[in-house]
Chain A
Amino acid sequence: MATLRTPPIPAVPGPLFPEIAGAPDKFRACLQCGVCSGSCPMGEVMQFPPRKAVKLLLDGGIDQVVASNTPWLCVSCHTCSTRCPSGLLITDGLFPSLRAAVMATGKIPDPDLQKALQNTYLYGNPMGTSPKKRADWAKTAGVPVPIISQLRRPVEVLWIVECTPSFEARGQQISRLLARILTALGIDFAILGHEERCIGDCEWLAGEQGLFEMLIERNIETLKKYRFREILMTDPHSYRTLLNVYPSLGGNYRTKHYVEFLAERLAQLKPMLKKKLNVMATYHDSCCLGRKTSHYEEPRALLKALPGLKLAEMAQNRESALCCGGGGTTTYLDRYIQEQTKDRLADRRVQQAAATGAQILATACPFEPARFEDAVKLTGHEGKLAVRDIIELLAESMELV
């Protein structure tokens, strides 16, 4: 009878997960203080919240954690990592490795995540749409959106649009508006179009190290072909990955998210903000723009520049902001997470927004409009609280809509 072979759980993940490779030594600095578990928005649902997971890692019991619900509940909000007094890389190191260990057995708990990863492997985006259609949104932008391969000259700004803003309806709307804003500012920009592929943040955090490396290699190869002064990004997840991880594999670029890029040009923007909005808004600090890259004040500066807009702060703001629940691939794990808990982070956050008295919940991350609008409906705030990306608000005031 043939012997059964199951793929071994990788003992030493590759170069991107050195934290686990040197695990006992690196994580030995853990004080077991519990700040991580206490800060974790999913801590109460995890069978092994971060502190316990690290303890088991050090005691040789990590297999229990791998087999539990813990690996798939981390929303990659980075609250634990930001606050850990030992600076342990829990979000970016421990959790991807736990997921990689589960994936090595061929089982992914949510079919949506499996489909997203397979689609990214085949088509460079989790939606499973042909890369040829990546720039289709630009056809109805109302302004020219040059594709860099057709321009055949260097550009000032290479705008990496990313997957959700290219393929999802609301994201596409926001992309069109940003194209108009950039044009109004006289920016010399271009996009990659069909050559653009997922930057890889979701794949990395899903523990799909091989896919992540494949994407990085591919993207660095593509970017080598073109000359540009800086890269502009609409998606905070891709932004922070391009900023923080690509350099270690040779991809060094001057990278900015649109909040920083537009805030730099505020003096030029202000006179263009003609229409008064007469509304109270509150701003949701997304995890990637907030805790991960510390862009707290630029989005607020943009919002405060909008005539007639009053800005209110939620109780949890800036470093303590509550995650929308969509990060770290959990946007593809809703099915699984719903089996674990009916308490949705997005619902909690929307309640916080409503409590400020604001009529608008302002966001700067493409995952958020869908998640928060669902939450607005589920929490009974439909008609009272609207969700708007900062770009949508700027474009409205600039009368570009």
Chain B
Amino acid sequence: MKIAVLIKQVPDLVEGLEIDAGGKALDRDSLRYIISEADDHALEQALLIRERTGASVDVFTLDVGEARDSLTTALAKGAERVTLVAAGLEAAPGSHALAELFAAVLRPQNFDLIVTGVRAIDDLDGSLGGLLAGLLELPYVGLIRKVETGPGGETAIVQKEFPGGFVTELEVKLPAVLGIQSAEQPPRYVPVSRLRQVMKTAKIGEQAVEPPQAPPIAVERLFKPEEGAGASMLEGTPEELAKQIAGLLAERHLLK
């Protein structure tokens, strides 16, 4: 069975975020990047399936920023192959564009399972998984917390989380795309000595693709949350409160 894992790097919140002079993007000089947390779980889930079934794990990421580091870590954790997807982009594009790029890379490769994090903190136009599945015309299930592959690698039983603590078990026909919320166990640790060892010998594949057709996202304004004036607390009996609320809505022309 062949599993593809799609990962990306996101700004590290620990280092704090500054907005650049243009007011439409983060100041990249003060940014540090780390692997998107859900993608880390997607990789862990893939490695768990690998340990149980002997499946191969291929990891792909877009060649922007310090993407190489995330691939080295993936190799150190046990991935078979890692590939940098080069599309000649300066910065990571939105999810529609990313889906396009990965679809081009994955279409000819016949993976049985494609996993990626169900969302990332910097997703502006939706998340990768569903968009990619649409382009590849494959089934998609998101918010996954457990994956068991069936015999023959033709189906998978997945657990999908719902709000309120509910979980659904679904049978998915493979090939399929899964959006991982959390792996069955926390992402494994890689001793630094192993990481350094892998860095010396790592073979990172490269694949060039055409730049995406999807239009870039035009950011109007990027700003930190602005403090409002505060909340005013309403008091009274339910009838009085209802009158007050109706009055407020009417004042603001929110009632037809």
Interface residues of A (CB under 8 A from B): 1-5, 7, 10, 14, 100, 103-104, 106-108, 111, 114, 117-118, 121-123, 128-130, 132, 208-211, 213-214
User: Contact at B14–A106, with CB atoms within 8 Å?
Assistant: no
User: Contact at A210–B193, with CB atoms within 8 Å?
Assistant: yes
Q: Identify which of B93-101, B184-192, B244-252 touches chain A.
A: B184-192
User: Contact at A111–B186, with CB atoms within 8 Å?
Assistant: yes
Within the assembled complex, what's the spacing in Å between the Cα atoms of A114 and B190?
10
Return the chain B residue nearest A127 by Cβ.
B14
Question: Which one of B14, B16, B194 has the highest number of Cβ atoms from chain A below 10 Å of its Cβ?
Answer: B14
Interface assignment of B119: CB less than 8 Å from any CB of chain A: no
Interface assignment of B55: CB less than 8 Å from any CB of chain A: yes
Other A-B pairs beyond A2-B56, A5-B78, 16, CB < 8 Å: A1-B54, A2-B80, A4-B51, A4-B54, A7-B194, A107-B189, A114-B186, A114-B189, A117-B189, A118-B189, A121-B192, A123-B14, A209-B193, A211-B192, A213-B192, A213-B193
Within the assembled complex, what's the spacing in Å between the Cα atoms of A121 and B15?
14
User: Contact at A106–B51, with CB atoms within 8 Å?
Assistant: no
Chain A positions within 8 Å of B188 at CB level: 106-107
User: Contact at B14–A128, with CB atoms within 8 Å?
Assistant: yes
Interface assignment of B172: CB less than 8 Å from any CB of chain A: no
Within the assembled complex, what's the spacing in Å between the Cα atoms of A158 and B129?
52
Question: Which one of B55, B191, B194 has the highest number of Cβ atoms from chain A below 10 Å of its Cβ?
Answer: B191
Within the assembled complex, what's the spacing in Å between the Cα atoms of A114 and B193?
15
Query: Contact partner of A103 among B14, B186, B189, CB < 8 A?
Result: B189
Interface residues of B (CB under 8 A from A): 12, 14-16, 34, 50-51, 54-56, 77-78, 80, 186, 188-196
User: Contact at B195–A129, with CB atoms within 8 Å?
Assistant: no
User: Contact at B194–A104, with CB atoms within 8 Å?
Assistant: yes
User: Contact at B56–A210, with CB atoms within 8 Å?
Assistant: no
Return the chain B residue nearest A1 by Cβ.
B54
Q: Which 5 A-B pairs have the closest CB atoms?
A: A210-B193, A210-B192, A106-B188, A211-B192, A1-B54
A-B contacts, 28 listed (Cβ < 8 Å): A2-B50, A2-B80, A4-B50, A14-B193, A100-B191, A103-B191, A104-B194, A106-B190, A107-B188, A107-B189, A108-B189, A111-B186, A114-B186, A118-B189, A122-B12, A122-B34, A128-B14, A129-B14, A130-B16, A132-B15, A208-B191, A208-B192, A209-B192, A209-B193, A210-B192, A210-B195, A210-B196, A213-B193
A89–chain B nearest beta-carbon distance, Å? 20
B53–chain A nearest beta-carbon distance, Å? 8
A128–chain B nearest beta-carbon distance, Å? 6
User: Contact at B192–A2, with CB atoms within 8 Å?
Assistant: no
Within the assembled complex, what's the spacing in Å between the Cα atoms of A239 and B15?
28
Within the assembled complex, what's the spacing in Å between the Cα atoms of A123 and B16?
13
User: Contact at A130–B15, with CB atoms within 8 Å?
Assistant: yes
Q: Are A210 and B14 also in contact (CB < 8 A) when A2-B80, A108-B189 are?
A: no
User: Contact at B186–A2, with CB atoms within 8 Å?
Assistant: no
B213–chain A nearest beta-carbon distance, Å? 36
Question: Which one of B34, B189, B194 has the highest number of Cβ atoms from chain A below 10 Å of its Cβ?
Answer: B189
Return the chain A residue nearest B55 by Cβ.
A2
Within the assembled complex, what's the spacing in Å between the Cα atoms of A130 and B192?
20
Chain A positions within 8 Å of B195 at CB level: 210
Query: Contact partner of A132 among B16, B189, B194, B196, CB < 8 A?
Result: B16
Chain A positions within 8 Å of B194 at CB level: 7, 104, 210
B186–chain A nearest beta-carbon distance, Å? 6
B216–chain A nearest beta-carbon distance, Å? 30
Chain B positions within 8 Å of A108 at CB level: 189
A329–chain B nearest beta-carbon distance, Å? 13
Within the assembled complex, what's the spacing in Å between the Cα atoms of A123 and B13?
12
B91–chain A nearest beta-carbon distance, Å? 22
Chain B positions within 8 Å of A114 at CB level: 186, 189
Chain B positions within 8 Å of A209 at CB level: 191-193
Chain A positions within 8 Å of B14 at CB level: 122-123, 128-130
